[in-house]
Structure 1
Amino acid sequence: MVYSICYCPVTRQEDLKTLKVADSKILTEAQREQLFEKLDAAKDFVGWALHILSPNFISNSMQRRVKYNLNALSHDTAIGLIQHALDSGVQVAEVFVDTVGPAEKYQEKLKRQFPELVITVKPKADSLFPVVSAASICAKVARDQAVKNWKFLEGLEDVGLDYGSGYPNDPKTKEWLSQSLDPVFGYPQFVRFSWSTAQIILESKAVPVHWDDDEDDPSQKNKQSLLSYFARKETPTKRRPHRFFYERKLETVTSL
């Protein structure tokens, strides 16, 4: 997942509109790349930055014992980008954010973090505010490039690399997910395991896994734990102590 921030002087917002930036979701890939080139060329009044979260990082965050859900991850990434702009010397006055979760709660959270800024959080902000539209274009172009040029460390010689756009409504993506599934190890790090589309395929086609030490699973309650084999077992009969002890009338005591 790719998060982006875009900033420009308040007095140059009309100049940003003349670039005809729009919500990246309604643009074709070619249109996004053309607009990105315009943004990149307008360095005299436009700046932008990215934060890329790998699928493996997101999966590990969402599936750890203390879960770090996608909303919290998104909020913290946005906070990090705003802080990055401030630390870089950008004189931020107003912030416009596309909401993740309830807009009012998200806005309150950002205001607590940055009380000196005027912050507006709105649903579909990327279609309402040109600066957010510009940020969404930067994020989408970067994401498309990352998907196209992904380097597979696992080696997928037997599986084609025609995985489509990587979105759940893409038939090529669904077909690739089915073909590249390893029944034991699942997917390469390219795929986010916590993604519902991947989880459905894993549950239906991968080898089922049962954890014997799962105390919350009723089916495991009557099963013996592996740790029980290492526990010290009490012998039914008391063993006679060594003659060194009984000749000297020595006994084991637990209290004085």
Structure 2
Amino acid sequence: MEVKKEVEIKLEKEDNMKNLILESPLPDCVKSEPCWLGIDEAGRGPVLGPMVYGICFSPISLKEKFGEMGFADSKTLTEEQRESIFDKINEANDMIGWMVEVLSPTFISTSMLRRTKYNLNALSHDCAIRLVALAIERGANIAEVYVDTVGDPTKYQEKLKGIFPSIDITVAKKADSLYPIVSAASICAKVTRDKAVKKWKFQEDINTEDLQYGSGYPADPNTKSFLANNMDYVFGFPQFVRFSWSTAAIILEKDAAPVKWEDDDEDENADKSNMALTSFFCKKDHNPKMDRHIYFKDRCIETVKKL
């Protein structure tokens, strides 16, 4: 089956609330020869849809032939040009391998909003590391890695070098315009995200006929219109929306049903009829204000009394 068609089928069939790994067959040459590998992402900024991380790898000995394929940063190409180059990548399956991970909007939002802080940079780093490790696990002989930076390039490079000490790693700003292998990864990621967004299966009761949501970027008029017209007063947005984005949070705060959270702390002025049962098991002179916060208890962090 044609690889691109297989990607489309998997995107249609899989649960889009979960992350998904898609990959090409592994050419024999990438197992036997030292390879260079590029990493890039698509969809970091939009409030709608998944973020996709992609890697592409090929033997170092074929760098010149690889460069003749006309790769460029996916953002500088039209959709038709990206599709055409993605076809070339799959046709050259005797010398090129690729892999992408589709990170669902639900995963992105719940990760960023969990109690222990997990920001988008850390999430991106972990995804890139996971893909490189997976390529190696599949049998690819990775000798060089080129990465379009997320955050400080020096710190990111040191982090990757600590995990993959035997690999020559280069982290650079705008690596997608400097290294063809990163450009190829960028195209794989962008084509996959475009297909995921176009073929999105809404789990909610939404009229998808003539539905337009644009690029997903907050400034896009179609995206703004989608957010304004598809918010439930009680349940908020569909899973297609990254509710951890400030764009979505502001709309929910303004237009959705107000939520009052139960306060865990006891009201100092409450009468005994409303006192918590646990209060009867405390010492008589117990002062709740002196209790250590649950954050420190969960992590077994103690106060330093002596140095």
TM-score normalised by the chain length of structure 2: 0.69
User: Do residues 105 (structure 1) and 127 (structure 2) align?
Assistant: no
Alignment of 1:77-116 (within 5 A): 77-116=127-166
Amino acid at match of 1:231: L
Structure that is richer in strand per residue: 2
Map of 2:260 onto structure 1: 210
Matched residues in 1 for 2:155 and 2:206: separation? Answer: 43
Amino acid at match of 1:60: T
Number of the residue aligned with 1:54: 104
Please give the alpha-carbon distance, in whole angstroms, between the structure 1 residues aligned to 2:128 and 2:248. Answer: 26
Indicate the SS of the match to 1:93. strand
The question of whether the paired residues in 2 share the 8 Å contact of 1:159 and 1:179 is answered with: no
2:124 matched residue in structure 1: 74
> Is 1:164 the counterpart of 2:210 in the alignment?
no
Residue 277 of structure 2 corresponds to which residue in structure 1? Answer: 231
Change (3 A) 1:118 1:158: closer
**Structure with higher RCO (Cα < 8 A, 6+ apart):** 2
Aligned residue for 1:193, secondary structure, equals coil
Q: Which runs of 5+ in 1 are unaligned?
A: 235-256
Preserved contact between residue 23 and residue 126 of structure 1 (Cα < 8 Å): yes
Separation (CA, whole Å) in 1 of partners of 2:278 and 2:154 = 57
In structure 2, the partner of 1:176 is: 226
Q: What do the CA deviations read for 1:194-236 (whole angstroms, capped 9, x no partner)?
A: 1222223222222232323166xxxx977869x94653798xx
C-alpha distance in structure 1 between counterparts of 2:149 and 2:106, whole Å: 24
1:20-47 Cα deviation digits (max 9, x unpaired): 1110111111111111111111111111
Name the CA distance, whole Å, in 2 between partners of 1:89 and 1:13. Answer: 20
Unaligned ranges ≥5, structure 2: 1-50, 281-307
**1:160: how far off?**
5.8
Q: Does 1:195 align with 2:222?
A: no
Distance 1:21 1:223, change over 3 A: farther
CA distance in 2 between counterparts of 1:182 and 1:151 reads: 18
When residues 166 and 232 of structure 1 are mapped into structure 2, their CA distance, relative to the original with a 3 A threshold, is: closer
1:37 to 87, 103, 106: 87
**1:6-45 aligned within 5 A:** 6-45=56-95
Query: How much has 1:95 moved relative to structure 2?
Result: 0.2
Distance in 2 between the 1:157 and 1:205 partners?
Answer: 21
Q: 1:33 to 1:66 in 2, by over 3 A?
A: same
Partner amino acid for 1:201? Answer: I
TM-score by length of 1: 0.82
Kindly provide the amino acid, as one letter, of the partner of residue 91 in structure 2.
A
Q: Deviations over 1:7-63 (max 9, x none)?
A: 011111122221111101111111111111111111111110011110001111111
> Which of 33, 39, 52 in structure 2 is aligned with 1:2?
52
Aligned residue pair count: 229
Instruction: Report percent identity of matched pairs.
Output: 57
- Residue correspondence of structure 1 range 107-186 to structure 2 within 5 A: 107-157=157-207, 161-186=211-236
